[in-house]
Structure 1
Amino acid sequence: MKRFVVVGLGNFGSSIAEALYGQGHEVIAVDPRPDAVDRVAAVVTRAAVADGKDQESLKRIGAKGADVGIVSTGDDITASILAAMALRDLDVKDVYAKVISRDHARVMERMGVTETVFPERDSALALASRLSGLAVLNYVRLGTGFSIQEMAVRDEWIGKSLRELELRKRYSISVIALHDMLTDEITSALDPDARLKESETLLVAGQDEFLARAARQS
Protein backbone atom coordinates (compact mmCIF):
# COMPACT_ATOMS: atom_id res chain seq x y z
CA MET A 1 0.00 0.00 0.00
CA LYS A 2 1.27 3.45 -0.94
CA ARG A 3 0.50 6.87 0.52
CA PHE A 4 -0.80 9.44 -1.97
CA VAL A 5 -1.42 13.15 -1.47
CA VAL A 6 -3.87 14.78 -3.89
CA VAL A 7 -3.82 18.58 -3.93
CA GLY A 8 -6.83 20.06 -5.70
CA LEU A 9 -10.18 18.30 -5.81
CA GLY A 10 -11.83 19.27 -9.08
CA ASN A 11 -13.10 16.53 -11.38
CA PHE A 12 -9.59 15.33 -12.21
CA GLY A 13 -8.19 15.32 -8.67
CA SER A 14 -11.26 13.85 -7.00
CA SER A 15 -11.54 11.05 -9.58
CA ILE A 16 -7.90 10.06 -9.06
CA ALA A 17 -8.25 10.21 -5.28
CA GLU A 18 -11.30 7.95 -5.30
CA ALA A 19 -9.72 5.47 -7.71
CA LEU A 20 -6.52 5.18 -5.69
CA TYR A 21 -8.46 4.67 -2.47
CA GLY A 22 -10.57 2.02 -4.20
CA GLN A 23 -7.36 0.16 -5.02
CA GLY A 24 -6.50 -0.04 -1.32
CA HIS A 25 -4.02 2.84 -1.02
CA GLU A 26 -3.86 5.51 1.66
CA VAL A 27 -5.10 8.76 0.14
CA ILE A 28 -4.87 12.23 1.66
CA ALA A 29 -7.04 14.72 -0.25
CA VAL A 30 -6.52 18.49 0.12
CA ASP A 31 -8.45 21.52 -1.13
CA PRO A 32 -9.17 24.99 0.31
CA ARG A 33 -12.87 24.64 -0.62
CA PRO A 34 -14.98 22.91 2.06
CA ASP A 35 -17.58 21.72 -0.48
CA ALA A 36 -14.92 20.01 -2.61
CA VAL A 37 -13.50 18.30 0.47
CA ASP A 38 -16.94 17.17 1.60
CA ARG A 39 -17.58 15.49 -1.76
CA VAL A 40 -14.61 13.13 -1.39
CA ALA A 41 -14.51 12.70 2.38
CA ALA A 42 -16.23 9.30 2.28
CA VAL A 43 -14.00 7.84 -0.45
CA VAL A 44 -10.49 8.73 0.77
CA THR A 45 -8.46 8.00 3.88
CA ARG A 46 -8.34 11.63 4.98
CA ALA A 47 -9.84 14.79 3.47
CA ALA A 48 -8.72 18.18 4.73
CA VAL A 49 -9.64 21.80 4.08
CA ALA A 50 -6.16 23.24 3.74
CA ASP A 51 -3.89 25.35 1.58
CA GLY A 52 -2.05 22.93 -0.68
CA LYS A 53 0.64 25.55 -1.30
CA ASP A 54 1.57 25.75 2.36
CA GLN A 55 4.25 23.31 3.47
CA GLU A 56 3.28 23.38 7.15
CA SER A 57 -0.38 22.69 6.36
CA LEU A 58 0.59 19.72 4.23
CA LYS A 59 2.94 18.44 6.89
CA ARG A 60 0.21 18.58 9.56
CA ILE A 61 -2.12 16.37 7.55
CA GLY A 62 0.50 13.70 6.87
CA ALA A 63 2.03 14.60 3.51
CA LYS A 64 5.68 14.41 4.59
CA GLY A 65 7.45 11.44 3.05
CA ALA A 66 4.43 10.31 1.02
CA ASP A 67 5.09 8.02 -1.92
CA VAL A 68 3.30 10.14 -4.53
CA GLY A 69 1.92 13.66 -4.73
CA ILE A 70 -0.62 14.71 -7.36
CA VAL A 71 -1.17 18.40 -8.06
CA SER A 72 -4.47 19.32 -9.74
CA THR A 73 -5.17 22.98 -9.03
CA GLY A 74 -7.20 23.91 -12.09
CA ASP A 75 -6.14 26.96 -14.06
CA ASP A 76 -4.10 28.48 -11.22
CA ILE A 77 -0.55 27.95 -12.48
CA THR A 78 1.02 29.75 -9.53
CA ALA A 79 -0.81 27.49 -7.08
CA SER A 80 0.31 24.47 -9.08
CA ILE A 81 3.96 25.51 -8.94
CA LEU A 82 3.89 26.32 -5.22
CA ALA A 83 2.06 23.08 -4.35
CA ALA A 84 4.61 21.03 -6.27
CA MET A 85 7.45 22.85 -4.51
CA ALA A 86 5.87 22.22 -1.12
CA LEU A 87 5.50 18.50 -1.83
CA ARG A 88 9.10 18.22 -2.99
CA ASP A 89 10.29 20.04 0.14
CA LEU A 90 8.37 17.50 2.21
CA ASP A 91 10.34 14.65 0.60
CA VAL A 92 7.44 13.29 -1.42
CA LYS A 93 9.12 10.77 -3.69
CA ASP A 94 7.20 11.34 -6.95
CA VAL A 95 5.15 14.41 -7.88
CA TYR A 96 2.71 14.43 -10.80
CA ALA A 97 1.09 17.64 -12.01
CA LYS A 98 -1.97 18.37 -14.14
CA VAL A 99 -1.08 21.17 -16.55
CA ILE A 100 -3.13 23.44 -18.79
CA SER A 101 -0.59 24.35 -21.47
CA ARG A 102 2.77 23.40 -22.92
CA ASP A 103 4.39 26.37 -21.16
CA HIS A 104 2.93 25.20 -17.85
CA ALA A 105 4.29 21.73 -18.54
CA ARG A 106 7.77 23.09 -19.29
CA VAL A 107 7.86 25.01 -16.02
CA MET A 108 6.80 21.97 -14.02
CA GLU A 109 9.28 19.72 -15.80
CA ARG A 110 12.13 22.14 -15.06
CA MET A 111 11.11 22.00 -11.41
CA GLY A 112 11.74 18.26 -11.57
CA VAL A 113 8.22 16.87 -11.28
CA THR A 114 8.01 13.21 -12.21
CA GLU A 115 5.44 13.68 -14.95
CA THR A 116 2.95 16.24 -16.25
CA VAL A 117 -0.58 15.41 -17.37
CA PHE A 118 -2.30 17.52 -20.04
CA PRO A 119 -5.93 16.25 -20.16
CA GLU A 120 -6.95 18.16 -23.30
CA ARG A 121 -3.97 16.80 -25.25
CA ASP A 122 -4.44 13.34 -23.79
CA SER A 123 -8.10 13.31 -24.84
CA ALA A 124 -7.13 14.16 -28.42
CA LEU A 125 -4.51 11.41 -28.46
CA ALA A 126 -7.02 9.01 -26.95
CA LEU A 127 -9.51 9.72 -29.71
CA ALA A 128 -6.84 9.21 -32.38
CA SER A 129 -5.80 5.92 -30.83
CA ARG A 130 -9.42 4.84 -30.42
CA LEU A 131 -10.09 5.46 -34.09
CA SER A 132 -6.92 3.52 -34.92
CA GLY A 133 -8.29 0.49 -33.10
CA LEU A 134 -5.95 0.42 -30.10
CA ALA A 135 -7.47 -1.20 -27.01
CA VAL A 136 -5.75 0.64 -24.14
CA LEU A 137 -4.86 4.33 -24.21
CA ASN A 138 -2.48 5.67 -21.58
CA TYR A 139 -4.12 8.31 -19.46
CA VAL A 140 -1.85 8.89 -16.47
CA ARG A 141 0.67 6.74 -14.66
CA LEU A 142 0.76 7.14 -10.88
CA GLY A 143 3.79 5.49 -9.37
CA THR A 144 5.40 2.22 -10.28
CA GLY A 145 3.02 -0.27 -11.84
CA PHE A 146 -0.22 1.69 -11.33
CA SER A 147 -2.15 3.66 -13.95
CA ILE A 148 -5.41 5.31 -14.80
CA GLN A 149 -5.98 4.51 -18.46
CA GLU A 150 -8.63 5.02 -21.08
CA MET A 151 -9.69 1.70 -22.55
CA ALA A 152 -11.75 1.21 -25.68
CA VAL A 153 -14.95 -0.78 -25.37
CA ARG A 154 -13.91 -4.06 -26.95
CA ASP A 155 -16.13 -5.53 -29.67
CA GLU A 156 -17.28 -8.36 -27.41
CA TRP A 157 -18.25 -5.84 -24.67
CA ILE A 158 -20.51 -3.69 -26.85
CA GLY A 159 -24.13 -4.02 -25.74
CA LYS A 160 -23.20 -5.55 -22.38
CA SER A 161 -23.39 -3.86 -18.98
CA LEU A 162 -20.65 -3.32 -16.43
CA ARG A 163 -22.54 -5.64 -14.11
CA GLU A 164 -22.39 -8.41 -16.71
CA LEU A 165 -18.73 -7.84 -17.52
CA GLU A 166 -17.61 -7.94 -13.84
CA LEU A 167 -14.32 -6.22 -14.69
CA ARG A 168 -13.32 -5.75 -11.05
CA LYS A 169 -13.84 -9.44 -10.31
CA ARG A 170 -12.33 -10.76 -13.55
CA TYR A 171 -9.39 -8.39 -13.95
CA SER A 172 -8.98 -6.51 -10.61
CA ILE A 173 -9.51 -3.15 -12.28
CA SER A 174 -11.93 -0.35 -11.35
CA VAL A 175 -14.06 1.57 -13.85
CA ILE A 176 -14.22 5.17 -12.64
CA ALA A 177 -15.96 6.85 -15.59
CA LEU A 178 -17.30 6.47 -19.12
CA HIS A 179 -16.22 8.81 -21.92
CA ASP A 180 -18.48 9.15 -24.95
CA MET A 181 -16.13 10.11 -27.75
CA LEU A 182 -18.96 11.42 -29.96
CA THR A 183 -20.35 13.92 -27.46
CA ASP A 184 -17.15 14.28 -25.36
CA GLU A 185 -19.28 13.70 -22.26
CA ILE A 186 -17.76 11.98 -19.23
CA THR A 187 -20.07 10.13 -16.84
CA SER A 188 -18.71 9.33 -13.39
CA ALA A 189 -22.03 8.35 -11.75
CA LEU A 190 -22.09 4.95 -13.41
CA ASP A 191 -25.21 2.89 -14.00
CA PRO A 192 -24.00 -0.74 -13.72
CA ASP A 193 -26.88 -1.91 -15.92
CA ALA A 194 -26.42 0.57 -18.78
CA ARG A 195 -25.37 -1.03 -22.06
CA LEU A 196 -21.95 -0.04 -23.34
CA LYS A 197 -21.74 1.66 -26.73
CA GLU A 198 -19.10 1.45 -29.43
CA SER A 199 -18.52 5.20 -29.15
CA GLU A 200 -17.56 4.94 -25.48
CA THR A 201 -14.27 4.41 -23.71
CA LEU A 202 -13.76 3.30 -20.12
CA LEU A 203 -11.59 5.21 -17.67
CA VAL A 204 -10.12 2.43 -15.58
CA ALA A 205 -7.65 2.25 -12.72
CA GLY A 206 -5.45 -0.60 -11.64
CA GLN A 207 -2.11 -2.31 -11.76
CA ASP A 208 -0.52 -2.18 -15.21
CA GLU A 209 -0.37 -5.96 -15.51
CA PHE A 210 -4.11 -6.29 -14.86
CA LEU A 211 -4.96 -3.50 -17.30
CA ALA A 212 -2.84 -5.18 -19.97
CA ARG A 213 -4.59 -8.49 -19.32
CA ALA A 214 -8.02 -6.86 -19.69
CA ALA A 215 -6.92 -5.30 -22.97
CA ARG A 216 -5.78 -8.65 -24.38
CA GLN A 217 -8.69 -10.85 -23.33
CA SER A 218 -12.44 -10.81 -23.74
Structure 2
Amino acid sequence: MKSFLIIGMGSFGHHLCRSLERQNCEIMIVDERQEYLEDMLPYVTSAKIGDCTNPEVLRSFDITSFDACFVSVGSSFQNSLQITSLLKELGAKKVYSKADEDIQAKFLLRNGADEVIYPEKDGAERIAIRVSSDNIFDSIEISEGYYIMEIQPRREWFGKTIQELNFRKKYRLNIMAVKRDKELFPMPGLNYEFSEGEHLMVLGHIDDIRKVTK
Protein backbone atom coordinates (compact mmCIF):
# COMPACT_ATOMS: atom_id res chain seq x y z
CA MET A 1 0.00 0.00 0.00
CA LYS A 2 1.41 3.38 -1.00
CA SER A 3 1.65 6.31 1.37
CA PHE A 4 1.20 9.99 0.49
CA LEU A 5 1.49 13.39 2.16
CA ILE A 6 -0.81 16.21 1.02
CA ILE A 7 0.09 19.71 2.19
CA GLY A 8 -2.71 22.23 1.71
CA MET A 9 -6.32 21.13 1.88
CA GLY A 10 -8.09 23.50 -0.47
CA SER A 11 -10.34 22.30 -3.27
CA PHE A 12 -7.58 20.41 -5.11
CA GLY A 13 -6.30 18.83 -1.89
CA HIS A 14 -9.81 17.59 -1.06
CA HIS A 15 -10.35 16.02 -4.49
CA LEU A 16 -6.88 14.46 -4.47
CA CYS A 17 -7.40 13.02 -1.01
CA ARG A 18 -10.70 11.36 -1.93
CA SER A 19 -9.23 9.97 -5.16
CA LEU A 20 -6.21 8.48 -3.39
CA GLU A 21 -8.44 6.98 -0.70
CA ARG A 22 -10.45 5.19 -3.40
CA GLN A 23 -7.15 3.63 -4.51
CA ASN A 24 -6.65 2.22 -0.98
CA CYS A 25 -3.69 4.48 -0.21
CA GLU A 26 -2.48 5.67 3.19
CA ILE A 27 -2.76 9.46 3.40
CA MET A 28 -1.54 12.14 5.78
CA ILE A 29 -3.01 15.61 5.31
CA VAL A 30 -1.67 18.90 6.67
CA ASP A 31 -3.06 22.43 6.78
CA GLU A 32 -2.67 25.48 8.98
CA ARG A 33 -6.44 25.65 9.52
CA GLN A 34 -8.25 22.90 11.40
CA GLU A 35 -11.57 23.49 9.62
CA TYR A 36 -9.95 22.49 6.29
CA LEU A 37 -9.09 19.08 7.73
CA GLU A 38 -12.22 18.06 9.60
CA ASP A 39 -14.36 16.76 6.69
CA MET A 40 -11.41 14.68 5.41
CA LEU A 41 -10.82 12.75 8.64
CA PRO A 42 -12.81 9.66 7.51
CA TYR A 43 -10.55 9.33 4.43
CA VAL A 44 -7.07 9.65 5.94
CA THR A 45 -4.60 7.83 8.17
CA SER A 46 -3.65 11.02 10.00
CA ALA A 47 -4.29 14.78 9.90
CA LYS A 48 -2.01 17.49 11.28
CA ILE A 49 -2.36 21.21 11.87
CA GLY A 50 0.89 23.02 11.08
CA ASP A 51 2.87 25.57 9.10
CA CYS A 52 4.92 23.55 6.63
CA THR A 53 7.19 26.46 5.83
CA ASN A 54 8.73 25.61 9.20
CA PRO A 55 11.42 22.93 8.66
CA GLU A 56 10.85 21.49 12.13
CA VAL A 57 7.18 20.82 11.32
CA LEU A 58 8.14 18.91 8.17
CA ARG A 59 10.88 16.97 9.98
CA SER A 60 8.28 15.69 12.43
CA PHE A 61 6.43 13.96 9.57
CA ASP A 62 9.25 11.55 8.56
CA ILE A 63 9.19 12.77 4.96
CA THR A 64 11.25 9.88 3.59
CA SER A 65 8.52 7.40 4.57
CA PHE A 66 6.09 8.73 1.94
CA ASP A 67 6.03 7.48 -1.63
CA ALA A 68 5.25 11.03 -2.77
CA CYS A 69 4.40 14.45 -1.35
CA PHE A 70 1.89 16.89 -2.84
CA VAL A 71 2.17 20.64 -2.34
CA SER A 72 -1.23 22.21 -2.98
CA VAL A 73 -0.90 25.42 -0.96
CA GLY A 74 -3.12 28.03 -2.57
CA SER A 75 -2.72 31.10 -0.37
CA SER A 76 0.89 31.97 -1.17
CA PHE A 77 3.11 30.97 -4.08
CA GLN A 78 6.16 31.87 -1.98
CA ASN A 79 5.05 29.28 0.58
CA SER A 80 4.68 26.70 -2.21
CA LEU A 81 8.24 27.34 -3.35
CA GLN A 82 9.60 27.14 0.18
CA ILE A 83 7.76 23.92 1.05
CA THR A 84 8.78 22.28 -2.24
CA SER A 85 12.43 23.09 -1.58
CA LEU A 86 12.28 21.91 2.04
CA LEU A 87 10.67 18.60 1.08
CA LYS A 88 13.51 17.79 -1.32
CA GLU A 89 16.12 18.83 1.26
CA LEU A 90 14.49 16.44 3.74
CA GLY A 91 14.74 13.54 1.31
CA ALA A 92 11.25 13.39 -0.25
CA LYS A 93 11.18 10.63 -2.87
CA LYS A 94 8.93 12.59 -5.20
CA VAL A 95 7.33 16.02 -4.97
CA TYR A 96 4.29 17.11 -6.97
CA SER A 97 3.58 20.85 -6.73
CA LYS A 98 0.47 22.69 -7.87
CA ALA A 99 0.79 25.72 -10.15
CA ASP A 100 -1.62 28.08 -11.83
CA GLU A 101 0.74 29.57 -14.44
CA ASP A 102 3.73 28.48 -16.52
CA ILE A 103 6.04 30.97 -14.78
CA GLN A 104 5.16 29.37 -11.43
CA ALA A 105 5.95 25.94 -12.86
CA LYS A 106 9.44 27.07 -13.89
CA PHE A 107 10.27 28.26 -10.38
CA LEU A 108 8.79 25.17 -8.75
CA LEU A 109 10.89 22.88 -10.95
CA ARG A 110 14.00 24.91 -10.14
CA ASN A 111 13.18 24.54 -6.44
CA GLY A 112 13.03 20.75 -6.58
CA ALA A 113 9.53 19.78 -7.78
CA ASP A 114 9.67 16.50 -9.71
CA GLU A 115 6.43 17.32 -11.47
CA VAL A 116 4.09 20.31 -11.67
CA ILE A 117 0.32 19.89 -11.64
CA TYR A 118 -2.04 22.33 -13.35
CA PRO A 119 -5.49 21.29 -12.07
CA GLU A 120 -7.46 24.19 -13.57
CA LYS A 121 -5.56 24.24 -16.87
CA ASP A 122 -5.73 20.45 -17.28
CA GLY A 123 -9.42 20.38 -16.43
CA ALA A 124 -10.22 23.17 -18.87
CA GLU A 125 -8.24 21.49 -21.67
CA ARG A 126 -9.94 18.14 -21.07
CA ILE A 127 -13.39 19.75 -21.29
CA ALA A 128 -12.42 21.76 -24.37
CA ILE A 129 -11.30 18.61 -26.22
CA ARG A 130 -14.49 16.75 -25.29
CA VAL A 131 -16.95 19.50 -26.27
CA SER A 132 -15.13 20.42 -29.50
CA SER A 133 -16.10 17.10 -31.14
CA ASP A 134 -19.29 15.05 -31.01
CA ASN A 135 -17.16 11.89 -31.40
CA ILE A 136 -14.78 12.40 -28.43
CA PHE A 137 -16.15 11.48 -25.00
CA ASP A 138 -13.13 11.63 -22.69
CA SER A 139 -9.38 12.21 -22.81
CA ILE A 140 -6.24 11.76 -20.74
CA GLU A 141 -2.96 13.43 -21.75
CA ILE A 142 -0.04 11.07 -21.17
CA SER A 143 2.73 13.27 -22.62
CA GLU A 144 3.04 16.40 -24.72
CA GLY A 145 0.55 16.00 -27.58
CA TYR A 146 -0.22 12.32 -26.89
CA TYR A 147 -3.53 11.20 -25.43
CA ILE A 148 -5.69 8.24 -24.58
CA MET A 149 -9.14 9.20 -25.85
CA GLU A 150 -12.55 7.60 -25.82
CA ILE A 151 -13.94 7.96 -29.33
CA GLN A 152 -16.82 6.74 -31.45
CA PRO A 153 -15.80 4.42 -34.32
CA ARG A 154 -16.45 5.65 -37.84
CA ARG A 155 -19.43 4.16 -39.64
CA GLU A 156 -17.27 2.83 -42.50
CA TRP A 157 -15.41 0.64 -39.99
CA PHE A 158 -18.51 -1.32 -38.97
CA GLY A 159 -18.33 -5.01 -39.93
CA LYS A 160 -14.56 -4.86 -40.51
CA THR A 161 -11.74 -6.11 -38.30
CA ILE A 162 -8.65 -4.31 -37.03
CA GLN A 163 -6.56 -6.46 -39.35
CA GLU A 164 -8.73 -5.79 -42.41
CA LEU A 165 -8.44 -2.04 -41.86
CA ASN A 166 -4.69 -2.28 -41.14
CA PHE A 167 -5.71 0.08 -38.36
CA ARG A 168 -2.43 0.89 -36.66
CA LYS A 169 -0.53 1.58 -39.88
CA LYS A 170 -3.34 3.47 -41.61
CA TYR A 171 -4.45 5.67 -38.70
CA ARG A 172 -1.26 5.70 -36.55
CA LEU A 173 -3.32 4.83 -33.47
CA ASN A 174 -3.34 1.95 -31.00
CA ILE A 175 -6.65 0.58 -29.72
CA MET A 176 -6.23 0.12 -25.97
CA ALA A 177 -9.76 -1.09 -25.21
CA VAL A 178 -13.34 -1.37 -26.43
CA LYS A 179 -16.14 0.05 -24.28
CA ARG A 180 -19.55 -1.58 -24.59
CA ASP A 181 -22.51 -0.77 -22.28
CA LYS A 182 -20.14 0.69 -19.62
CA GLU A 183 -18.07 -2.52 -19.70
CA LEU A 184 -14.43 -2.32 -20.79
CA PHE A 185 -12.71 -4.99 -22.90
CA PRO A 186 -8.94 -4.29 -22.95
CA MET A 187 -6.52 -4.98 -25.78
CA PRO A 188 -8.82 -6.34 -28.52
CA GLY A 189 -7.15 -8.78 -30.95
CA LEU A 190 -6.66 -8.31 -34.67
CA ASN A 191 -9.92 -10.16 -35.32
CA TYR A 192 -11.99 -7.65 -33.34
CA GLU A 193 -14.84 -6.50 -35.58
CA PHE A 194 -16.06 -2.90 -35.25
CA SER A 195 -19.77 -2.47 -34.55
CA GLU A 196 -22.26 0.29 -33.82
CA GLY A 197 -22.90 1.31 -30.22
CA GLU A 198 -19.33 0.75 -29.03
CA HIS A 199 -16.63 3.24 -28.08
CA LEU A 200 -12.90 2.83 -28.58
CA MET A 201 -10.10 3.83 -26.21
CA VAL A 202 -7.30 4.86 -28.57
CA LEU A 203 -3.74 5.99 -27.88
CA GLY A 204 -1.98 8.39 -30.21
CA HIS A 205 -1.11 11.95 -31.15
CA ILE A 206 -3.91 14.50 -30.89
CA ASP A 207 -3.61 15.34 -34.62
CA ASP A 208 -4.10 11.70 -35.66
CA ILE A 209 -7.04 11.27 -33.28
CA ARG A 210 -8.72 14.39 -34.64
CA LYS A 211 -8.39 13.06 -38.20
CA VAL A 212 -10.50 9.98 -37.40
CA THR A 213 -13.08 11.88 -35.33
CA LYS A 214 -13.95 14.54 -37.90
TM-score over 0.5 for the alignment? yes
Structure 1 residue 114: Cα displacement? 1.4
| 1:136–1:215 CA contact under 8 A, matched in 2 | no
How far apart, in 2, do the equivalents of 1:109 and 1:39 lie? 31
| 2:7–2:52 CA contact under 8 A, matched in 1 | yes
Letter of the aligned partner of 1:86 in structure 2?
L
Query: Matched residue of 2:24: which SS?
Result: coil
1:83 matched to which residue of 2? 83
Letter of the aligned partner of 1:76 in structure 2?
S
2:7 matched to which residue of 1? 7
1:108 matched to which residue of 2? 108
Letter of the aligned partner of 2:139 in structure 1?
L
* Equivalences for residues 183-194 of structure 1 within 5 A: none
Percent of pairs identical after alignment?
28
Residues 59-68 or 12-21, more deviating: 59-68
How far apart, in 2, do the equivalents of 1:85 and 1:215 lie? 42
| 2:100–2:121 CA contact under 8 A, matched in 1 | no
Query: Matched residue of 2:47: which SS?
Result: strand
Structure 1 runs of 4+ off > 2 angstroms?
61-65, 131-141, 214-217
How far apart, in 1, do the equivalents of 2:136 and 2:75 lie? 31
| 2:63–2:92 CA contact under 8 A, matched in 1 | yes
How far apart, in 1, do the equivalents of 2:38 and 2:118 lie? 26
Give per-residue Cα distances to partners, 1:77-96, cap 9 Å, x unaligned.
Answer: 01101111121122111111
1:128 matched to which residue of 2? 128
| 1:109–1:116 CA contact under 8 A, matched in 2 | yes
Query: Matched residue of 1:137: which SS?
Result: strand
Structure 1 residue 135: Cα displacement? 4.2
Structure 1 residue 63: Cα displacement? 2.8
Give per-residue Cα distances to partners, 1:48-100, cap 9 Å, x unaligned.
Answer: 11112222212323433321010001141011011111211221111111112
How far apart, in 1, do the equivalents of 2:200 and 2:55 lie? 41
Structure 2 stretches lacking a partner, 5+ long? 144-148, 153-181, 185-198, 203-214
Q: TM-score, normalised by structure 2?
A: 0.62
Query: Matched residue of 1:57: which SS?
Result: helix
* Equivalences for residues 2-151 of structure 1 within 5 A: 2-130=2-130, 131-132=132-133, 133-138=135-140
| 1:71–1:83 CA contact under 8 A, matched in 2 | yes
| 1:75–1:100 CA contact under 8 A, matched in 2 | no
Letter of the aligned partner of 2:66 in structure 1?
A
* Equivalences for residues 169-180 of structure 1 within 5 A: none
Task: Choose 1 or 2 for highest CA Rg.
Answer: 2
Structure 1 stretches lacking a partner, 5+ long? 142-150, 156-166, 172-213
Q: TM-score, normalised by structure 1?
A: 0.61
Letter of the aligned partner of 2:129 in structure 1?
S
How far apart, in 2, do the equivalents of 1:215 and 1:66 lie? 36
Give per-residue Cα distances to partners, 1:28-66, cap 9 Å, x unaligned.
Answer: 100000100112112111111111222221232343332
Root-mean-square deviation over aligned CA pairs: 3.2
Structure 1 residue 215: Cα displacement? 7.2
Letter of the aligned partner of 2:82 in structure 1?
L
Query: Matched residue of 2:97: which SS?
Result: strand
How far apart, in 1, do the equivalents of 2:55 and 2:32 lie? 14
